[in-house]
Structure 1
Amino acid sequence: MFRWSVRIFLLVLTLSLTGVSILGSMSAVSILGNEDNVNIPSGPIDANLNISNVNEMYFRVPFNVTNVGFFDLTNLRIEFSVTMVYDHVNLTGIGENITSSAIVFNKATVFPPIPNGQTYNGLFNASSGDGFLPINFPNATTEIDWYRTPYAVEFYADFIVSASYSLDLISFSVELFNISVGNLPHL
């Protein structure tokens, strides 16, 4: 009798884990199967890109994530980095400026769990001292070629969205690269 009880328990346990894995996989596929389920940005990006005063710079990026699966979405983490592209003034040779890039912002934030069937509308906020890397900014008056066209300075964002699913058994990640978040015009 004890042997049969153990066998039945193991069968139920195995079937339960198999069911959780199948439903979790289907849920992850359904979330990533429709591009409208993960929207970053979900609206216009609000940014102050005044590189002359890094202390006043900020980014506000709206986003939404819809959980169309069977389980809660947990460990929602968004990493946001911004690269600044500009022509570095070459003082040794006229007209020989070098296109340079510098990562001027990098921040990761963890958001609350999203219950199944729900949409989380969030706002990724960053202000000076909160992810900005002042050491990476070039000197705006001596190092940037303000006559570069079409823009003197361009800003591009990279987003990495990751989350866990099915009782944290399945993890996934969505990566978006080189999304324009703004520019500064040439003189």
Structure 2
Amino acid sequence: MENLSVATFGGGCFWCIEAIIQRLKGIKSVKSGFSGGFIKNPPYREVRTDRTGHAEVIQVTFDPDIISYHDLVYIFMTSHDPTTLNRQGADKGTQYRSIILYHDVEQKEIVQQVFEEIKSLYEDSIVTELKPFEVFYNAEDDHQNYYNNNQDAHYCQIVIDPKVQKLKKMYSDKLVD
């Protein structure tokens, strides 16, 4: 029986973060969805209005014997801009905020450690929201595995491809062959 853990991250459009994290060794599943807000089971069309309080996030199930939570957080934090409030690139609104929803005190402490480790990488202060995990709502099926299913889409080529290429250069030892 595998000893699996769960992590929840949001850093702009969930398609981007999903594409990065699912390429790492030790990842068992990645689901795109919503968390951090106050509306129960919101559809995407409501979340994108910026009135639900939810962020676009991914829920990651991983094997900590293969990839540590520390490494996941570090890769997540260096795969998007954690210094822009409620925005990633052209995506604007609280639903695109940088957020980590920790599942226990140990995860919270690891996130705080990573924040200290990476703050010198950025000119501006890290604004990533850190809060306890409460609930995750799956996004609709057409949002799952988006990049892998739509690599010819303009958004994938312009926005996600460069992030995947950066991942390959920076973390080749952590990638699935």
TM-score (norm 1): 0.23
Structure with bigger RCO (C-alpha 8 Å, 6+ apart): 2
Q: Give the structure with the larger helix fraction.
A: 2
Q: Which has the larger radius of gyration?
A: 1
Between Structure 1 and Structure 2, the one with more strand by share is: 1
TM-score normalized by structure 2?
0.24
